[in-house]
């Protein structure tokens, strides 16, 4: 069978980190072992009933059996604007400052394609969400890593960036609450980000995927809450985490009109928006009671307290995450990230994500997900204790 050569762009793409992780788990299970999956960030709770019912009813509307408007329905853009005004006090013009996306991952990849040319530079959190890299590699651009270090509360130090790279950079990716570290951003950091963006003509892309998940009574800040943020960038928000709609593939970007326009231009060539019934369900989620979001946040906080407290008691070096549904665990001495992750799986049947898969500065850590019941987390803690006491 003839095998056709891939384009240069596809050959530049790194291995899909999470696909590799799943393959490792599948291979282990096929050998007849049992395992607990703490390695992925897939919400384990069902989508709330009122959102599902909204989809079911909307799916019967013949208008949604046609192509939707290329840029999404106005009713959803207006719902996004209402949501941002209610939750963050941010005013948005629905038609020019909101773009509907078929999942935030898609939009984050597209943004590099919108603004980068071969050889251009993007500033990238390290560790960070691996799929940021995909769009950059597709266009042949370069990444300048910004180390996220424990001693700096996992915030990038802009003054430590190579001055030449900073001058060349066009895009700045940030993500708070952070995947994988669980860190949150403060107002001072966002103010500094806006200052640097203005000084170096950077477009800021804030991935706000975990915006609804904050602990200890503190609600995560939206980047757009800061004066001047909309002048220099956008925020990308997904329905996946806030409303347990990961499989639905619907999200949105908000902020700077020129960036929103670029996203809509590229999507004109890739998609014909999102199924209208999904857009209705998304509007329902944004506009109706947020009690389900509050309950979900409480669930994750209880799981965090259980897992972090148990790991500390067992002798592991771990700090509580302040947002997201991830725990960033320092590996025991003498282990690499990958070595520790492999040993955990092979010896006690716990899958975690090795930190080096998120970037060079992730070495020495593994990421644990809170996307499991308390019973599963208690089982995992017993296995962590067993591992350390071997």
- Number of neighbouring beta carbons within 10 Å of residue 70: 12
Q: What residue ranges define each of the domains in the chain, with the CATH number in brackets? A: 8-46+292-388 (3.90.1150.10), 49-287 (3.40.640.10)
Question: How sure is the predictor about 19, in pLDDT bands with cuts at 50, 70 and 90?
Answer: confident
| pLDDT tens column, 313-367 | 999 999 899 999 999 999 999 999 999 999 999 999 999 999 999 999 999 999 9
Residue 14 clears pLDDT 80, i.e. is over it: no
Q: Which of 13-27, 79-93, 169-183, 269-283 has the weakest average pLDDT?
A: 13-27
Nearest to 124 by CA among 358, 353, 368, 364: 358
* 187, 220 contact by CB (below 8 A): no
Question: How sure is the predictor about 24, in pLDDT bands with cuts at 50, 70 and 90?
Answer: confident
* 273, 100 contact by CB (below 8 A): yes
How much is the mean pLDDT over the chain?
A: 95
DSSP 147-168: E--GGGTT---GGGS-HHHHHH
Both tokens assigned to 131:
């799929």
Residue 32 clears pLDDT 80, i.e. is over it: no
pLDDT mean over 1-26: 82
Question: How sure is the predictor about 201, in pLDDT bands with cuts at 50, 70 and 90?
Answer: very high
Both tokens assigned to 157:
């130090």
Residue 143 clears pLDDT 90, i.e. is over it: yes
Put residue 249 in one of left, alpha, beta given phi > 0 → left and psi -120 to 50 → alpha: left
Nearest to 257 by CA among 37, 115, 70, 93: 93
pLDDT mean over 25-36: 78
pLDDT mean over 48-57: 98
Which residues does 148 contact at the CB level (< 8 Å), separation at least 6? 125, 126, 127, 128, 154, 155, 156, 178, 181, 183, 361
Residue 25 clears pLDDT 90, i.e. is over it: no
Which residues does 137 contact at the CB level (< 8 Å), separation at least 6? 9, 12, 13, 14
The pLDDT of residue 29 is 72
* 142, 122 contact by CB (below 8 A): yes
The pLDDT of residue 23 is 78
Which residues does 83 contact at the CB level (< 8 Å), separation at least 6? 286, 287
The pLDDT of residue 21 is 78
Question: How sure is the predictor about 122, in pLDDT bands with cuts at 50, 70 and 90?
Answer: very high
């Amino acid at each position: 069978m003839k095998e056709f050569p891939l384009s240069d762009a596809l050959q530049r793409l790194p291995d899909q980190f999470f696909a590799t992780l799943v393959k490792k788990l599948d291979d282990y299970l096929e050998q007849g072992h049992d395992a607990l999956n703490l390695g992925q960030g897939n919400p384990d709770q069902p989508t709330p009933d009122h959102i599902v019912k909204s989809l079911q009813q909307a799916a019967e509307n013949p208008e949604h059996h046609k192509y939707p408007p290329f840029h999404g329905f106005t009713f959803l853009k207006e719902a996004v604007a209402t949501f941002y005004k209610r939750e963050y006090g941010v005013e948005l013009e629905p038609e020019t400052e909101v773009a509907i996306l078929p999942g935030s991952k898609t939009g984050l990849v597209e943004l590099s394609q919108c603004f980068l040319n071969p050889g251009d530079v993007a500033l990238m959190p390290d560790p960070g969400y691996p799929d940021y890299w995909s769009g950059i590699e597709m266009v042949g651009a370069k990444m300048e890593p910004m180390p996220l270090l424990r001693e700096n509360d996992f915030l990038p130090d802009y003054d430590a960036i190579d001055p030449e790279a900073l001058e060349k950079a066009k895009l700045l990716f940030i993500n708070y609450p952070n995947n994988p570290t669980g860190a949150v951003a403060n107002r001072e950091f966002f103010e500094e980000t806006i200052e640097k963006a203005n000084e170096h003509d950077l477009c800021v892309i804030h991935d706000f995927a975990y915006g609804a998940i904050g602990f200890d009574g503190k609600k995560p800040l939206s980047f757009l809450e800061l004066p001047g943020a909309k002048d220099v960038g956008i925020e990308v928000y997904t329905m996946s985490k806030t409303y347990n709609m990961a499989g639905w593939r619907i999200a949105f970007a908000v902020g700077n009109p020129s960036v929103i326009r670029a996203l809509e231009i590229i999507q004109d060539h890739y998609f014909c928006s999102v199924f209208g019934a999904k857009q209705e369900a998304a509007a329902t989620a944004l506009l109706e009671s947020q009690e389900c979001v509050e309950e979900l946040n409480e669930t994750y906080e209880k799981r965090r307290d259980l897992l972090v407290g148990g790991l500390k008691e067992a002798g592991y070096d771990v700090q509580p995450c302040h947002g997201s549904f991830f725990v960033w665990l320092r590996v025991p001495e003498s282990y690499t990230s990958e070595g520790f992750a492999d040993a955990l799986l092979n010896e006690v049947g716990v899958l975690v994500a090795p930190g080096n898969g998120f970037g060079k500065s992730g070495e020495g850590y593994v990421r644990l997900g809170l996307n499991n019941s308390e019973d599963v987390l208690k089982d995992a803690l017993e296995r962590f204790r067993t591992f350390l006491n071997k």
